[in-house]
Amino acid sequence: MLSDSTIPEKKKGSLGKIYLIINSIIYLICLVVYDVQTAIYSLVYSFVFSWGLDRFHEHNLEASVMVFTKNKDIKAHVISEIHRGVTHWEGFGAYTGTSMDVFVTIVAQSELSDIKRLIRHHDPSAFVIVTKNLKVDGGFEKRLI
């Protein structure tokens, strides 16, 4: 079950949005002192910069993805398509007693939509837990944009 893939996430406030809001207020105040053209160019610059800042910053944030499934193929697809390592545990439901596979991987937050799409494609009934904003030390490979 991928509940957060169907319901849009509410982002609290990204670094770029905070930058844009603060600078927009400053530029609106400066609109009184300077001409309109300077304020418009400054707002356009701030918008482009904040968008780029969010894209760049998102690549530096990690997320843990834990998948509970009966489809063993998901492990191979994550390794071959997302190019991330996977830890595999054999588990069982404490309530139902049914056996299942548990896969854990760490991805950049920018890769979350890809991995959720991959899981949904191979097992629509998989139960997925995503934990964002982790601090990962060790062998995690950070990738450039």
Let me know whether 83 and 113 are in one domain.
Answer: yes
Residues 6+ apart with CB under 8 A from 130: 4, 63, 64, 65, 66, 112, 116
Let me know whether 54 and 67 are in one domain.
Answer: no
What is the number of structural domains in the chain?
A: 2
In a domain, 90, yes or no: yes
In a domain, 21, yes or no: yes
Nearest to 106 by CA among 138, 72, 70: 138
Neighbour-count burial for 4-15, b at 16+ CB within 10 Å, e otherwise: ebeeeeeeeeee
In a domain, 10, yes or no: no
- Range with lowest mean pLDDT among 18-32, 67-81, 110-124: 18-32
Let me know whether 34 and 71 are in one domain.
Answer: no
Domain boundaries, position 96: 62-134
**Tokens 């899981």, residue located:** 119
More confident residue, 125 or 8: 125
Q: How confident is the model at residue 139 (pLDDT cuts 50, 70, 90)?
A: low
Let me know whether 112 and 52 are in one domain.
Answer: no
**pLDDT attached to residue 142:** 67
**pLDDT attached to residue 13:** 67
Let me know whether 70 and 117 are in one domain.
Answer: yes
**pLDDT attached to residue 32:** 83
pLDDT tens figures, 61-84: 788 999 999 999 999 999 999 999
Q: What percentage of the chain reaches a pLDDT higher than 70?
A: 81
**pLDDT attached to residue 7:** 40
In a domain, 24, yes or no: yes
Note the pTM of the prediction, 2 decimals.
0.62
**pLDDT attached to residue 6:** 42
> What CATH number is associated with residue 99?
3.30.70.120
Let me know whether 47 and 90 are in one domain.
Answer: no
